[in-house]
Amino acid sequence: MAQQKEIYDYLRSVDCCRVCCLRFLKGTKEEFVDIDAALQKVGSGKKPLDQENGEHKAKKLKENVCIACLGLFDLDRIATLACEVKEHAAYQQYRCEAGFLTSISLPIVLHLRQLALWFDVVDRFPQTFFPGTPPDIAVKDALKMIIIHQLERTLEKPFSVDGVMVNVPYTYANEEEELRTLEQVSPGVFANRKANKHTKKEFISRNAFEKHFTPSMINGDRFRKHYAVPPVSSEEVGLVRGELSFTGPTIFLAGRYNKFSRELSQTPWMIDGKRKMAGSVQETIGASIAPHFGVSDEQLIFSSSGREDVDVRCLGEGRPFVLEIVDAKTDQLPEDVAIRMEQEVGTSQTVAIRDIQLVKREDLVHIRHGEEDKRKFYRALCVTAEPVTEEMVRKLRIDEPFVMQQVTPLRVLHRRTLLARPRTVYSVKAFACRDNPHAMVVDIVSQAGTYIKELVHSDFGRTGPSFRSIIGAEIDIHALDVMAIDLDWPKKLRR
């Protein structure tokens, strides 16, 4: 306890603020919430300004800015931050039950000042501080402990990684001037950074500072020659807090969609910057969902379990999809709102959605991984050059799985790598059409990623075996429907 008191008194004597003293005393989260009580334990409770750092000191009208945090821990200013957040018009547009989190941007010069104090306290208190171990609780960690506690009380909401992000930026006018001294301390570090074309344009990054500038990595005498140990400050120049900003949570809405049109792409179809079709499944769905979350439909990120061609319908239970919604203004989806969204999409007559619900990021593994292990169920209307015979139908009734090789189809070669891909067909079942002697309906169960049209007509022999090679006659596909997708996700709600 006596050693802690000695450390506290010394740090105060060189113009460290009380919070930074507590950082060097390695205060706990609870102690940063009640700083006065924490410092009283070491006999260093708050005193009147004219008594602090010794009764013999003349009373100051204004203290210098803290040499360690440059005024960051001005508790009066921090106290107003929570109220400012609550009353901020930009914050009030969010309706998120999860709570909030913070993103605090601090200048790198604070690391330089920590380094100078690190050298100082290692020399003065060698039994407590060591060159290889940071001497304090990190500035940002301490600030978050204080700010989060105040925000929780003021906003009456918990800290949560799924909440609204409160962005708090700080700058320091003299940062570049102070950091330039590092070139004299370790010139090799900056020569390597200038030679590396991948290095950012900033003078030095936070990671580079932490890697190259510690008491065990640099020459202490050279550092002292170019930078004050302990660091110094004045009452005029300190950190300046920038404008508060807010970012809503990224949430994920999952569901299933049906596509009933043979003239609708899944996502906006653009070639050379020009639209090929008026709409898309993505835009039809997004137009009904985006307004509730306070975003434009262009901000939605659409993904699904595979995709169908423009002229292919998706029937049955539908295709699982996910919308990633960045900066959502709400994280809630009431049941009545979900029902209204489903009904509104249904009025398009081209797309329907069902089972829409909010899911967690980790649930996306269902849709993003193991795609080739899934099975897809198709129904194809095929036409033949010759009249359909019983022998053709018999040959296209295959119960045993078989593997075919598909070279990238000609129709997608402009956007797919030229490869030969093995694909498994699990079953084929053909039925002749009574009213058309040149047509048959074929039900196909295949591995996801199979090009069904090429499976039918062989793509000039690039797919084999194909229906054409199996029946020994010309055959093509007239219409194709996706009937089912072997993915029991998201949860079926049966509204």
DSSP state of 72: T
Cβ–Cβ under 8 Å, residues 265 and 280: yes
DSSP state of 69: T
Cβ–Cβ under 8 Å, residues 108 and 206: yes
SS3 60: coil
Q: Token pair of 452, please? A: 């069904």
Residue with tokens 């978050």: 144
Tell me the C-alpha distance between 449 and 170, whole Å. Answer: 50
Positions marked catalytic: 309
SS3 55: coil
First to last CA, the chain: 66
Q: Token pair of 484, please? A: 């089912």
Cβ–Cβ under 8 Å, residues 358 and 268: no
DSSP state of 143: H
Q: DSSP letters along 7-41, please?
A: HHHHHHHTT--HHHHHHHTT--HHHHHSHHHHHHH
Q: Residue 48's closest CA among 32, 60, 31, 35?
A: 60
Tell me the C-alpha distance between 152 and 158, whole Å. Answer: 6
Measured from the Cβ of residue 461, the count of other Cβ atoms closer than 10 Å reads 10
To the nearest 10°, report the CA torsion of 485, 486, 491, 495: 40
Q: Residue 306's closest CA among 378, 397, 245, 391?
A: 378
Which H or E run includes 208? helix 206-212
Q: Residue 71's closest CA among 173, 181, 153?
A: 173
Residue with tokens 């996700």: 489
Tell me the C-alpha distance between 3 and 9, whole Å. Answer: 10
Tell me the C-alpha distance between 326 and 294, whole Å. Answer: 10
Cβ–Cβ under 8 Å, residues 358 and 385: no
Residue with tokens 């950074």: 193
Q: Token pair of 186, please? A: 């370790």
SS3 147: helix
